[in-house]
Structure 1
Amino acid sequence: MKTNYKLELVKKNVVQLVSESELYNKLEQSDITIKFGIDPTNSDLHLGHLVPIKRLKTFQDLDYKVTLFIGDFTARLGDPSGTSKLRRKLSPEIVQQNMSSYQEWIFKILNPDKTRVVYNSKWLKNTDLESLIDLFSYENINTLIKRKGVHQRLEEGKPVSMLEFIYPFLQAYDSVKLKVDIEIGGEDQYFNFLFTRAIQQKYGQKPEVIMTLPLLKGSDGNKMSSSSNNIIPLNQKPDNMFGQIMSINDEIMFDYLMLLSTLESEQITEWEKKVRLKEVNPMNIKMILAKDIVSQIFGNEKAEYAEEEFSNVHRNRKMPLEMPEVTIEKAVEISDMQEALIYFQFTASKRQAKYLIRESAVRLNGQTINDPFQKYSPKDGDVINVGKKTFKKIIIK
């Protein structure tokens, strides 16, 4: 396969590339170290993590091996890249708990046989003070203060931990230990990667090629991040993920298509044009997007099931194929629908129950309920739903 063709594939959607000529030269070699690092600061991987992981998959498809780098040691410090907040220090126990499921989800995309998994605690936990002094002597504090998040907090008189100045040194040292040729990450890692290149050269190594990718936006339009509570987690049921993808704003739908889908760029561009001209309903394209992403993670069969569930509930106003069941004794007495919502834990207060019913958000066996005081006696197989997503089936012993 020609190197120019490989180059076009791997640099698709790249924000910062340092440099294209260096990348070309690396791609002409067969044995190179391609690194993507992730710090297990949270237990949930999300769709934002898939952007660089899918780029690793592109390299694997071109017959390169990749290195999945788990920063189990540096996760305890906290990377301030792209944030204006002080990161909390994590215990080794929390880090271990967070990363327990990482590989399970990542290997739904990557080929394990072409992936080397490395943990930086292997060398950092035993690094001696003399080695650290040598490392810290290679750069000065002036460079680190220029980081956006750090500089902003210093200007505002907010605290900045010494650990945050240490972090980029240790991240660079990881690349030195691995002799990294190419590093992939989000665009918020650009400063760290430039810093890494400088440190590698101080150790007599060739600097790594920098490849940064766009940061996926979450439900609020900002960077998808667990700390911002705007993520679409990987660790959930396929139909839930399908529904969450369907709920993203139309404005960011095409970012998801470009960064996460398996669809051709030309097709996506054509759809974007047609949506802008109101020739195509964006909901139809979002259905294709949701099915494509869910299929990559869970397989075609579960993606088709998730699509059917979504269509049943949201488009055809049918009941879902599966729903939670609530088992009760035959003798249980419930007087009205208001009381039923509280008893079956749709809500905790009479006030909220009344509001939901009067807003026509409650249905019993598919029929809208408008009166909070409508008489109700539970029957086996009854289905109550609040809104389009919350269904419960009543089972009587």
Structure 2
Amino acid sequence: HQAVIIIGNYTALVGDPSGRDQTRARLTQEQVETNARDYLTQVGKVVDLTRAEVVRNGDWFSAMGFLDVLELCSKVTVAQLLTRDDFAKRQAAEQAIFLHECLYPVMQAWDSVKIRADIELGGTEQLYSFMLARDLQRDQKLPQQIGIMTPILVGLDGARRMGKSLGNYIGIGESAYDMMKKFMQVPDSVMRMYFELLTDLPLAEVERLLAGHPKEAKLALARSVIGDYHPSEQATEAADRWQREISQKELPAEIPTVAVDSSLLVDGSIPAARLLVATGLCSGSSDARRLIAQGGASFGDDKIRIESHDTLVAVTSGLLLWAGKKRVVRLEVQ
């Protein structure tokens, strides 16, 4: 078979409604192209792009006139669209379903017609599009494709499908250490799913790991998956670094240095909230006050907790400033 990768630059302009309980924000063409480049980088870690065919569905949708769109839409009923799980749930909850969203599964199905797909791979939430593609292929006198589906992986929140727009994802294009930090946040309740969908470990080994300490199971999971996308030694080093810096609370190996303008200091000191904003650890005074109120701000090698937004912090070059457990900078007075 010839592997064909479809960059959905026109479906992305609509926004995938799969697994959504509300309308997805629409992207600009510039955002779509930026994402497309990122997707190809990630796909290249799994598929040999030199042997695959890469197409953009804008190649055929941009050439369609309004009459062509009407012809395509005439092949799908509203009743059929409302059988799609996400639309059915939103209708039952009396939540808005916009007309442009209904075009997404139709466009996806038409992609299969245009590339003459005989096998299509996707998640279980794509069942409707897969079946609609078969109907459209039959209508065009083409052989009907076979759909191969895999279960949907839930994200780091343990509830919703993993997705970049939801902020609950682990990117295979991320560094080994960034992936490691995220894997260690996977909820215990979904560990079995992650092992089954992301690794080739024997089920007996998975059972043994899950019966033990969750931290050891997550380290094993992370090393296995990271090793698929990075050299194995990087996966091992990422695990060791996480143990040193997070589990054993040692200082990070790389601490960025941030300059503090001496004009901000009065007698060598500055209110804590203002310092957090000046160093970029907080986006604004409200963010800084919230962090301090939650007990997440501290300074010094001993991580002295900042108790109030107006606490005066004596700033000297080399002082460590913390925002949460993982973000830390070293100050340099200039």
TM (norm. structure 2) is 0.83
Counterpart for residue 14 of structure 1:
none
Size of the aligned set, in residue pairs, is 325
Taking the TM superposition and a 5 Å limit, the aligned residue runs for 1:76-95 are: 76-95=13-32
User: Whole-Å Cα distance in 2 between the matches of residues 177 and 149 of structure 1?
Assistant: 26
Superposed displacement of residue 190, structure 1: 0.7
Deviation per CA, 1:309-346: give whole Å up to 9, x if none: 21111222211111211234678553379479545454
> 1:261 is matched with which residue?
199
Q: Could you say which residue in structure 2 is the equivalent of 1:334?
A: 268
Aligned pairs for 1:236-275 (under 5 A) are: 236-272=174-210, 275=211
Q: Any conservation in 2 of the 1:360–1:369 contact (CA below 8 Å)? A: no
Q: 1:104 aligns with which of 41, 46, 49?
A: 41
RMSD in angstroms over aligned alpha carbons? 3.1
Mark the CA change 1:255 to 1:336 in structure 2 (over 3 Å): closer, same or farther. same
| Bigger RCO (CA 8 Å, 6+ sep) | 1
Report which stretch shifted further, 232-241 or 206-215. Answer: 232-241
2:227 corresponds to which of 267, 281, 295: 295
> Which one of the candidate residues 282, 285, 294 is aligned to 2:214?
282
When structure 1 is superposed on structure 2, of 372-381 and 75-84 the one drifting more is 372-381
- How far the C-alpha of 1:243 sits from its partner, in A, is 0.9
- Residues 299 and 319, structure 2, Cα contact 8 Å, conserved in 1: no
Secondary structure of the residue that 2:330 maps to in structure 1?
strand
Structure 1, gaps ≥5 residues long: 1-31, 33-64
Match of 1:369 in 2: 304
Q: Percent identity?
A: 25
Relative to structure 1, the CA distance from residue 284 to residue 195 in structure 2 (aligned partners, 3 Å threshold; closer, same or farther) is same
Kept after mapping to 2: 8 A contact 1:323/1:393: yes
Q: 2:81 maps to what in 1?
A: 144
Residue 225 (1) aligns with residue 163 (2):
yes
Contact 1:330 1:396 in 2 (8 A): yes
Q: State how far apart, in whole Å, the 2-side matches of 1:387 and 1:80 are.
A: 34
- Determine if the alignment matches structure 1 residue 394 to structure 2 residue 331: yes
**Could you report, residue by residue, the CA deviation over 1:61-100 in whole angstroms, capped at 9, with x for unpaired residues?**
xxxx422111111222233333332344444333223323
The 10-residue stretch of structure 1 (239-248 or 382-391) with the greater mean CA deviation from structure 2? 382-391
Letter aligned with residue 93 of structure 1: E
Q: Which letter does structure 2 place at the counterpart of 1:242?
A: M
Task: Give 2:237's match in structure 1, choosing from 305, 308, 318.
Answer: 305
Aligned pairs (5 A) from 1:120-159: 120-128=57-65, 131-159=68-96
Q: Distance in 1 between matches of 2:48 and 2:37?
A: 19
Distance 1:371 1:124 in 2: 57
- Mark the CA change 1:355 to 1:334 in structure 2 (over 3 Å): closer, same or farther: farther
Q: What is the DSSP-based 3-state SS (H/G/I as helix, E as strand, rest coil) of the residue aligned with 1:113?
A: coil
| Structure 2: 5+ residue stretches without partners | none
C-alpha change, 1:338 and 1:162, in structure 2 (3 Å) is closer
* TM-score of the pair, normalised by structure 1: 0.71
Report the AA paired with residue 178 of structure 2.
N
